[in-house]
Amino acid sequence: MLHFLVVGILIIAATILTYFGVNIMWQLPLAASTQATPIDWLWDVQIKAMSFLFALIVVPMAYSLLVFRRRKGETGEGEHFEGNTRLEIAWTIVPLIAVLTMAYIGAGNLADVRRADPQAMVVNVTGIQWSWRFEYDNGVVSDELHIPVGKQVLLKMTSNDVIHSFWVPEFRVKQDLVPGRTTELRITPTVVGDYKVRCAELCGTSHAYMEKPVIISTQDDFDTWMVARVEEAEALAATPEGAGQLLVSANGCAACHSMDGSTVIGPTWFGLAGSQVELADGTTVTADDDFLYESIKAPQAKIVAGFEGQQMPEYGFSDEQIANIIAYIKTLR
Amino acid sequence: MKRNQSVGRGLLFLLIAGLIGYGIGLGLDTLIMKNVRFTAPVPSAFTLLFAFTAFFFGIYGYRGITRGLVFQVLGTLIGGFIVTGIRAVMGLQLFGGFFFSEPAWVFGALVGAVSFLFGVGVMSDWVKWARGMDTPDHHEDEPGWEKYFGVSLDHKVIGIQYTVTALFLISVGGLFALIFRTELAASGLQFLNVGMSLFGQNGPQLYNTLMSLHGMIMIVSILLGISGIINYVVPLLVGAQDMAFPRMNAFAFWAAVPASVLLLMALVLGGFDTGWTGYPPLSAKAPVGMQMFFLGVFTAGWSSILGALNVIATVARMRAKGMTAWRLPIFVWAAIATSIIALTATQLIGLSFQLVMFQRLLGMGFFEPSKGGNPVLFQHLFWFYSHPAVYVFVLPGLGIISELLPVFVRKPLFGYRWIAMSSLGIALVGFVVWAHHMFTSGMNEYLRVPFMYSTLLVAVPTGVKFFSWVGTIWKGKITTPTPMLFVLGAIFVFLLGGLTGPPNATVSVDLHLHDTYFIVGHFHDTIFGGFVFPFFAALYYWFPKATGRRMNEFWGKVHFWLMTPSFLILTFGMMRIGLMGMRRRIADYDPLQGFDATHLLLTICAFGIAISVLIFFINFFHSIKNGEKAEGNLWESRSPEWQVPSPMPVHNYEQPFEVVGEPYDYGLAGSKYIEFVPAEGGKH
């Protein structure tokens, strides 16, 4: 009986120690959305349960190892008992009730996380290897996501190429972007600040770098930004190279093609137009309009030497859009 | 010839043939690409195939595995050229950066894998039967180590073949992990950068390939490892002369060898960047290495399915007299549970990969949205196997814990029937939880809550095991030789894996945890606790049974005390940064997230594990010839295999035994589990 008493006290002590120890070592990032609140609450409940169960198993094991170990010179076998049906039934039924309760709480928690605001601001999100494209209701397109604080945003997301996943760790919630369908994610940011959306579903070579800024600002700052974007877009759209620049930033071309001569994934665009390009098959061509057009329209037709392993996706641009992009590339020198 | 001489010759041959293969590959590549590419896929592929084959030729001569590999190389080339010929007639492009076109590689690889099985000789008896010829029931194996390189029908030889192949693959998969773990030690790309090029891949691509192959090679090695233990131990535990279908048993093992070759071919043939999960559309776009990966898994699947069938048949039909269901050694229950899953679920991963294969080869749009396909469907098919597969990995390990624990605490297994039934319970519940891998996938939202309920239910039978183990240890006379240390380590580590599971099962919390290092830490805990620690326990425990010698205790303990803390810090740290926002499967991370220090520590711990496993390997191979002699009942076990001398006689038990008591009645004076009886019909 004494054994059970000691073990019981030790279990309580170990539970408390484990809970505090785990909380020091494991910390969630800043909670910056309404959705984070129930998730963090449930996580804390689970850490408590984990600490208790950890102590419940480890303490009697460690105690047995210390107290019941075979000492030097000792012979004989352990105490002979084969089981206890009541105990077995108890530790089947009690955990069963516990997990069903946890699932019930979990379902309610999920409902809290998914709570929808009918007034939510809609942003259309497209995942691209390896960039993000955010399109607002008024047609403004950006590779940064700006949201006013305290307002629920409904992200309607899809992908052009492979599966991606939208995740801002500070907002907790995560949702995959699947080609051929639209998935939804609701986020209500609560803390002004600069965050990053980080693609969480492996999407190929530069998956690690598929990160873009997510800016949570006051409604005023958001409105200022939006107005500036609208004006900037109008100004740029007036010239072909400006329109090209808009397309380039909206489609994340810079994820692979640098504008400054460095090599990222694909060939740089700096000084590209009109230069001599060596191809993988050993021939050399001039990067004239026809070559650039073909390289955008059918990326696999001619592979530049040194980039044999790369697979640029086809973007389905119109001829006019391609002409604008070429006009933009020509400005990079 | 002496073993050391043979290995020396094998290594020499490996070097020479590797160079020749490299020369041929480089010549062919230069011819096709009109460009000298030293690190391109084709020279590497030829180097790999030539070197492997020559190594075994040097050791063993032109028979068994060498003949199999020669057949595989020739079969691959012949198959490839057949498709290339057809393409020539159709006017399609014949060769490219990977030498063969993709369809030619796929068909060639398939022909190669089948050719291997004919070449190695595992089909010869069946071919003879088909031609109306008789074969002897038992093929006598040659004495000594050479029998392990050829086809043997003895379950003990096959068990060791499985185990050694598993250990080889564990070191390959572990090496891959060390490479990318080293890259992760600091943020930024240090050596796997964009500028480097190997096997037609730049640094980040090679990172993805190594990371993906680490996953699948480890999975295959686990499947082979459990088959190894099951094959060696289960017939001994139930008192059978051999497995029910010895030829199918050999076939199942040998199918895993070309499968391993195919997986390694995936590395050199351009690799693939999808992770072991191979989700389309990414896997529909990856280089030809993807197809080698699919075929490798497909072939390993045959091995798993047929092996499982054999285990079930053996236990159902070949038990000793008196061995009723409740008197089966507990490990046999685990083997049955795991085999039921492997037999019935493996098809689904084969199927899902085959559909992507066909999508790539034949343009069928199963998972291509523009052709009416559905990428999420793949995930359902894939996880329908791949979640239960986790229980295939851990159930035998949990069985080993339950089997060994009573021996070292000198007490009956607490709640034997409950433990036996909990294995089946886990196996059955395991079939209805797969979609918990897909909470963020975009599947129908109303599916998430039912799958949360079913997933959390797994905790119930798992809890029964833990509580029963505690009951077993309680008031035992506990000793802690190396196998017991690993058993205790297994319980502790698996407990951590088990406790970190429910947060992932709870949908809302999983929305944060999914695809982060928290998951990586969690499943490494379950796999190390459920497989790696018990596997090492089993190797230390049954090593004397197979060799008549024991492994060195001191170095065994060094292995344990180096590996365990390293591993605990590794996974605890993984979960720490995962919570903070470290995503899975990334080659580089944002220095602003503050992971650098933890990652450096994790890399150091990974090397700690590697060194401990290296110590194990040296101990293992050194002890085969030089270990302390241990021919008797070393662990004072009640189990039948320890009642006969070690190493185990060729035909197992000279006299059959009868079960006369409970298997784990340690401490009950005068009780016996088995009694040897003269064979029926008098002595032979």
Q: State the total domains in chain A.
A: 3
What domain range includes position B559? 477-636
pLDDT of residue B1: 54
Domain of A258, CATH number, reads 1.10.760.10
What are the C-alpha distances in Å from B639 to residues B159, B542, B634? 19, 12, 12
Residues A132 and A191 occupy one common structural domain: yes
Q: Within a domain: residue B533?
A: yes
Nearest CB to A91; choose among B464, B588, B590: B464
Nearest CB to B35; choose among A79, A178, A282: A282
Which of A235, A269, A288 corresponds to the end of one domain? A235
ipTM: 0.92
CB within 8 Å: A46 and B508:
no
Nearest CB to A107; choose among B369, B452, B480: B452
The reported pTM is 0.92
Q: Within a domain: residue B677?
A: no
Pick the closest to residue B223 from B279, B294, B290, B302 (CA basis): B302
Residues A219 and A256 occupy one common structural domain: no
Q: Within a domain: residue B613?
A: yes
- The Cβ of residue A266 has, within 10 Å, a number of other Cβ atoms equal to 18
pLDDT of residue B683: 43
- Percent of chain A exceeding pLDDT 70 equals 99
Q: Within a domain: residue A79?
A: no
- Distance from C-alpha of B671 to C-alpha of B648, rounded to nearest angstrom: 24
Residues A153 and A227 occupy one common structural domain: yes
Over range B117-143, report the average pLDDT.
Answer: 88
Q: Within a domain: residue A173?
A: yes
What's the pLDDT tens digit per position in B236-251?
A: 999 999 999 999 999 9
In angstroms, what separates the C-alpha of B547 from chain A's closest C-alpha?
28
Q: Within a domain: residue B335?
A: no
> A177 contacts in B (CB within 8 Å)?
442
What domain range includes position A308? 239-330
> A80 contacts in B (CB within 8 Å)?
411-412, 665-668
pLDDT class of B620 with cuts at 50, 70, 90? very high
Nearest CB to A206; choose among B34, B204, B509: B204
pLDDT class of B455 with cuts at 50, 70, 90? very high
The greatest distance separating any two alpha carbons of chain A, rounded to the nearest whole angstrom, comes to 94
- The Cβ of residue B191 has, within 10 Å, a number of other Cβ atoms equal to 11
Residues A199 and A102 occupy one common structural domain: no
Residues A22 and A101 occupy one common structural domain: yes
Q: Within a domain: residue A71?
A: no
| Chain A: residue whose CA lies nearest to B438 | A176
- Percent of chain B exceeding pLDDT 90 equals 79
The single-letter code of the amino acid at B233 is V
Q: State the total domains in chain B.
A: 1
Which of A193, A213, A235 corresponds to the end of one domain? A235
Nearest CB to B512; choose among A39, A74, A206: A39
CB within 8 Å: A103 and B468:
no
Q: Within a domain: residue B503?
A: yes
Residues A8 and A94 occupy one common structural domain: yes
CB within 8 Å: B475 and A79:
yes
What's the pLDDT tens digit per position in A187-230?
A: 999 999 999 999 999 999 889 999 999 999 999 999 999 999 99
CB within 8 Å: A26 and B275:
no
The sign of the CA dihedral A78, A84, A88, A90 is negative
Pick the closest to residue A247 from A324, A159, A161 (CA basis): A324
| Chain A: residue whose CA lies nearest to B480 | A69
For residue A280, pLDDT over 90 is answered with: no
| Chain A: residue whose CA lies nearest to B448 | A107
CB within 8 Å: B515 and A77:
no
What's the pLDDT tens digit per position in B48-82?
A: 889 989 999 988 888 889 999 999 999 999 999 99
SS3 content of chain A, % helix, strand, coil (to 5): 45, 20, 35
CB within 8 Å: A68 and B587:
no
Residues A210 and A274 occupy one common structural domain: no
Q: Within a domain: residue A324?
A: yes
For residue B684, pLDDT over 70 is answered with: no
Over range B84-98, report the average pLDDT.
Answer: 89
Residues A220 and A307 occupy one common structural domain: no
Pick the closest to residue B358 from B116, B97, B110 (CA basis): B110
pLDDT of residue A77: 85
CB within 8 Å: B35 and A76:
no
User: Given the DSSP bridges, would you call strands A211-217 and B201-202 parallel, antiparallel or unpaired?
Assistant: unpaired
Q: Within a domain: residue A297?
A: yes
Residue A121 backbone zone (phi > 0: left; psi -120 to 50: alpha; other: beta):
beta
Over range B552-572, report the average pLDDT.
Answer: 96
CB within 8 Å: B194 and A165:
no
> A41 contacts in B (CB within 8 Å)?
none
For residue A37, pLDDT over 70 is answered with: yes
pLDDT of residue B681: 54
Q: Within a domain: residue A159?
A: yes
Q: Which of A228-242, A246-260, B54-68 has the lowest mean pLDDT?
A: A246-260
In angstroms, what separates the C-alpha of B336 from chain A's closest C-alpha?
22
Q: Within a domain: residue B679?
A: no
- Distance from C-alpha of A155 to C-alpha of A126, rounded to nearest angstrom: 10
> B450 contacts in A (CB within 8 Å)?
none
Contact B282, A204 (CB under 8 A): yes
| Chain B: residue whose CA lies nearest to A61 | B470
In angstroms, what separates the C-alpha of A297 from chain B's closest C-alpha?
18
Pick the closest to residue B298 from B265, B258, B264, B268 (CA basis): B258
Q: Within a domain: residue A315?
A: yes
Comparison of pLDDT for A4 and B34, the residue scoring more? A4
